[in-house]
Amino acid sequence: MSKKLIRFDWAVKKLLRNKANFVVLEGFLSELLFDDIKIQQILESEGNQETQEDKYNRVDILTQNSKNELVIVEIQNTYEIDYFQRMAYGVSKAMAENISTGQSYSEIRKVISINIVYFDLGQGKDYVYRGTTTFKGLHQEDILQLSSRQKETFTKQNIADLFPEYYIIKVNQFNDIAKDTLDEWIYFLKNSEVKDDFKAKGLQEAKEVLDIMRLNKEAYYGYNRYLDYLHYKASEALSLKVEAEEKAKKERSIEIVTNAILEGFDNTVIVKITGLTPEEVEQLRHTNN
């Protein structure tokens, strides 16, 4: 029997930074990246420090895995039209902050940026996307490769292995049907529940670590405040959407009225067509004269 667990976004910020709980985050990363991921440490930087202005909107964690790669996990609950640019900025900042003065460019570490979003980012049918860097010839249409010397020096096989790698999980687009172990994780991200038959790495540990009943009184209060905040932001987003739709409807009515006036229709007909009041129509007629 599944039970409601602590949301992953709050857990990342408050619980999963504890080394004893790394197994949960390692399980998620292993299923997403199709690799056996081990977290060496949690890194702190200017980019993932909690600030008063952005206390709940963004939840991210910067880790270093056993391959000396940087892994960013960032969770965004509310809509941001420029989120793609924010992804690029976060990766660039992590790369710059984790190379010391005097080190060669070869010391720049690969960054894997994992973005869990609870809004419709971009336009696409899938719910998991992966982005890598390749160089394609404009004339020969071949893919540029590393030389043998570069492969030996960097211990990498492809140019894409040197560049940042991006993952986007569009949680709300998932249909709740778990067909594989990665889907089981996405089901948890969406519903904060782990079904008894789920086999994905880290999920059984998550059932224990993220049990709401294990929170002390202070943490329980903080978690409920966070849930209240999410409800508030959802209501705010809905209100903005309704206002935008009303504004668009009004602008469309004004356009129809303007055209109707130019065509010579009287106010009675225009009122029936648009649903505006006689006073609004008369005011628009006055404006157009």
Find where tokens 């940026």 sit.
Answer: 113
- A 10 A CB-CB count for 104 gives 7
Q: How many Å apart are CA 199 and CA 179, to the nearest integer?
A: 11
Q: What is the pLDDT of residue 58?
A: 53
* 70-76, strands of its sheet edge to edge: 39-43, 58-65, 70-76, 111-117, 165-170, 128-131
244 is written with which tokens? 């935008």
Q: What is the pLDDT of residue 56?
A: 47
Question: What are the angstrom distances between the C-alpha of 81 and each of 212, 214, 248?
Answer: 33, 37, 19
**Mean pLDDT, contiguous 10-residue spans, the chain (289 residues):** 82 87 93 90 59 51 87 88 92 88 86 93 94 96 95 93 96 95 96 92 92 88 89 79 80 80 81 79 73
Q: What is the pLDDT of residue 235?
A: 84
